[in-house]
Every structure is written in C-alpha cells, then in structure tokens.
Chains A and B, each alone.
Chain A
C-alpha cells in the first residue's frame, strides 16, 4: 500500500535530462491553505518536491484540494502555514475556465493573451509573440481555426486554445487544472502530446486530472483526499486500493479533519 512520504521524494524520481542533482522547481513542506473568509483550511500538510522537467498528476475526488494546491502554486491563494517554494514563473489554466462566449475574441487573440504580462502598456504585442501564438496554436492543432471566434469552438478546442495561451505565457512551471475533463479523445491525445513536448523541453508540469487510465504518462502522482495528501509516489508504485478509496467515497466530513496522515487508509 502506498503511503505518504513526508519528505521530498527524489530517490526514484526520473532525473531530468540525466542530471545528477535534480533542480527543484516546486518544494512544498507542510503546506496549509485556507480560502479567504473560510474558517477551515482546504489543504493541509502537503509535502512534496518536483524537479525541473518532471510531470506530476494531481489525483483526488472533487473537493480533495487539487485546485487549492494549484492556486497556491500560482500565487492566487496564500499559504497559511508551512512553506511553498516555486522557482521560476508559473503559467496556469484554471479549472473549466469560464470564458464568456459573448465577448468577440478569436482563438488567435486568446493565445496572444499569454504575452500580455510581458508587453508594456503602451507597446503593441511583438511580432515574436504573435509568431509564438501562431506556433502554439499549430502545436495544439488549432492552426486552421485561429481566426475563428472562441464562442464557435468546441469544448476540446477551447481547452486547447487555453493551453496555447499558457504556452505563449512561458515560464518554468505549467499548472493545469483538469485540462482533460469533458473533452473529446482527439483533443485529449493532442494535449498529452504537447505536455510531453513541454516536459522534454524542461518545463515542470502539475496537472490535476481524474484520468486513472493514463497515469503511466506522469513521473509522479500526488493523491489528495479531503484536503490532505494521501500519497506522492511513482505511478507504478500506487496501490489500487488507495485509488479506489480516493474515488470510491469522499474523504471528508470537513476539510483537513481526518487526524493523522494515513488514518484514512486504515479505515
């Protein structure tokens, strides 16, 4: 049975680019996060390390703390206790990002938005960034619909357009919240291919997902339940019972109220 490794795990992690000493990009030590206005933390005691060029799948039922962790990594939520160190910039796509469909914007304009953060207010988007947006759309398979309004794209196409925006954004860490949910198999396959390319290029990937059939694609799997970390391990080392318990019932009477780590597995 898998267990929580309270220390940053690195012994079995694939060494990125064959380097001897991994370069950690995300290091969490006992991270606790509470939403503003909430009394109880939604995530507590999360401890793990992710090296540059590693991919990590965040697993757990809805409300388990995956989105909370990703929001802490992007800086959207403050870490209340513990320590979270992110080295480099983070590009993110939120869960089921709600793009208003009544706003006139094309897929190309959406992708170019990834360059907004580095474009001075009075400057035009650079030619290089426009070219990068075109290239990113090509990579996610949307070159032919670049000029089409986002409102006319399918759910899978919109998700790929958002991924293109994240590719244009750049940075060291890519944080995606359920990019593979409710999309067609073709879109999912294309997203997996692009993520693999990004990983090979040295980008660190943190991706929340419910897709248990594709766990072999990830270097590491972080399992959350009821706001607590249940496992952080190699996908092949994960116990099927743990996953069954994680998705078989909700791990929560309330957030972070399950006592010591591991209790859940003993029940």
Chain B
C-alpha cells in the first residue's frame, strides 16, 4: 500500500487537509443555516467569472473569487423576501445556478477549451503547489478566526429572529458576513480542487458531524477531523488504485454520510 509520502502526494495531502480545516466551520454553519444548496451553487458561480477573467487577461483565481462573491451576494439578495425575516435561499440559488452554469460553460470553453472547464469543475489535487497550500492555510486561519469571533452572533441569528433581537444581533449583518465567509472559503477551495470536490468536502463531513454533539463548536471540530480522515483515505485509495484522486476523495467524503443514513434507516 502506498501512503501519501512522496513530495507530490504530500503536497496534495497537505492541501486537502488544509481545505478540510477551511471548510469545516462554513459547512457546519451552512448546514445549520439551511444554506447548503447555496454553498453548492457558489462554486458554479465562479465558472463564468473565471472564464471572463481569462478572456480579459486576469488570473483564474481572481476571477473565481469575484464570481464566488457575486454569486453569494446574488443568492443572499434574491433569497431575502421583502419586509420579513423569511428567506428562500433554495429558489434563489437555483436561479443563480442555471444562469451561472450556462454562461460559465460558454465563457470557459471560449477561454481555455473543455480542459479548462474540466479543471474548474473537478480540479486536480495532485497539481497543488506550495503557493496554493499557503493561500489555503491562510484562508483556513482567517475563516476559523471569523467563526470563533462571530460564534455568538451566528448562534443567536440561527436560532431565530426573536433570539437574534434579544441578543442584540442584526440578522442582516450576520447573513452578510456569513455569506461572504462562505464565498471566500469556497472560492479558495474550488480554485484548487474544483467545484465538485469542494462541495463534497463542505457537505460530507459536516453532515455526519452535526448528527451528534450538544455544541456547534464541537461539531465543527468533529467535521474537521472527519474531513482529515476522508481526504487521507481518498488519497491512499487513489495512490493504490488507478482512479483520479479528486473523485476518490469526493467519494470518501460522501461515504460517511451515506453510512450514517443507512444506519439510521
């Protein structure tokens, strides 16, 4: 059995481990805030912006980040209904998903052909570099810090509008900060490992971690730990069986959730 010890595999493992840490807080909070579908759509919103950036001579990462932020802002704005605290993120996210994917395919194929589209969707963990690793680690530190600082506001606003008011928390402000944080985390991860694997790592570990525990903080730690296990397992499988590393990690990220569902039923 091959373990991820050679330099390429080691960098890939470190990159994926850093991504697991990066997305653990946003995954758990996105799940509690019922914003998982929005989290899935944000990487797709990166695609047209990345294609446009390449056509205009900017970097893919920059374009992807702009696309993620615009996508997240669009979902948040479309999902907020008039004068009430209610929100309908799902229909807003669906709207953004359709438009972004269609436009993205056109722009990315114009810019870099089908290979570019494949890279944006599925990424390539083995192509991770020290620079991308450092960016991901910096993002993980920033998102983790923000999650700790904003924990009380997130908790109160997630419990309900009355709880937020009683705690002196502005629901709109929390929503904005949570959406931006989600967008930045997803953009960093998807820029490195693609949209599909990012979503798998955001949702899979968080879905299992939130099944237990009496505190959100404990769930985030559990999600990070599960994330580390699944990225390691996926890379080990990929190194020993001739399957793409991204697909192997995505499968590994989904298996614990499927197992939990099977046990429940």
Contacts and interface: CB of A to CB of B under 8 A. Distances in A.
B165 A116 contact: no
B156 A113 contact: yes
B144 to A, nearest CB: 15
A74 interface: yes
Contacts of B159: 99-100, 103, 105
Contacts of B103: none
Interface in A148-179: 149, 165-166, 169
Interface stretch (A3-11, A87-95, A185-193, A229-237): A87-95
B32 interface: yes
Nearest to A71: B165
Contact of A103 (B155, B162, B166): B155
A91 B32 contact: no
Interface in A72-128: 74, 76, 91-94, 97-100, 102-106, 109, 113-114, 116-117, 119, 121-122
A104 B168 CA distance: 20
Contact of A165 (B149, B166, B218): B166
B87 interface: no
Contacts of A37: 82-83
Contacts of B61: none
Contacts of A165: 166
A158 to B, nearest CB: 12
B82 A121 contact: no
B152 A119 contact: yes
Contacts of B32: 102-103
A91 B163 CA distance: 11
A109 B158 CA distance: 14
B98 interface: no
Nearest to B158: A103
A37 B82 CA distance: 9
A102 B34 CA distance: 11
Contacts of B156: 113, 116
Given A37-B83, A100-B158, A113 B163 contact: yes
Nearest to A152: B214
Interface residues of A, number: 31
Contacts of A105: 155, 159, 214-216
Contact of A117 (B82, B167, B219): B167
Nearest to A94: B162
A104 B150 CA distance: 16
Nearest to B148: A122
A45 B59 CA distance: 63
Contacts of A122: 149
A99 B160 contact: yes
Interface string B169-180: 100000000000
A122 B155 CA distance: 15
A116 B169 contact: yes
B213 interface: yes
B214 A121 contact: no
A98 B214 contact: no
With most chain A CB atoms within 10 A of its CB, the pick from B163, B210, B213 is B163
B186 to A, nearest CB: 23
18 contacts: A37-B82, A74-B165, A91-B166, A92-B162, A92-B165, A92-B166, A94-B162, A97-B162, A98-B160, A103-B155, A103-B158, A103-B159, A104-B215, A105-B215, A106-B215, A113-B155, A114-B166, A147-B214
Interface of B: 32, 82-83, 149-150, 152-153, 155-156, 158-160, 162-163, 165-169, 210, 213-216, 218-219
Given A109-B155, A113-B163, A169-B166, 19 more contacts: A35-B83, A37-B82, A92-B166, A97-B160, A99-B159, A99-B160, A100-B158, A100-B160, A103-B32, A103-B155, A103-B158, A103-B159, A105-B155, A106-B214, A113-B166, A113-B167, A116-B169, A122-B149, A165-B166
- Cβ-closest 7 pairs across A and B: A117-B168, A94-B162, A116-B167, A36-B83, A97-B162, A37-B83, A104-B214
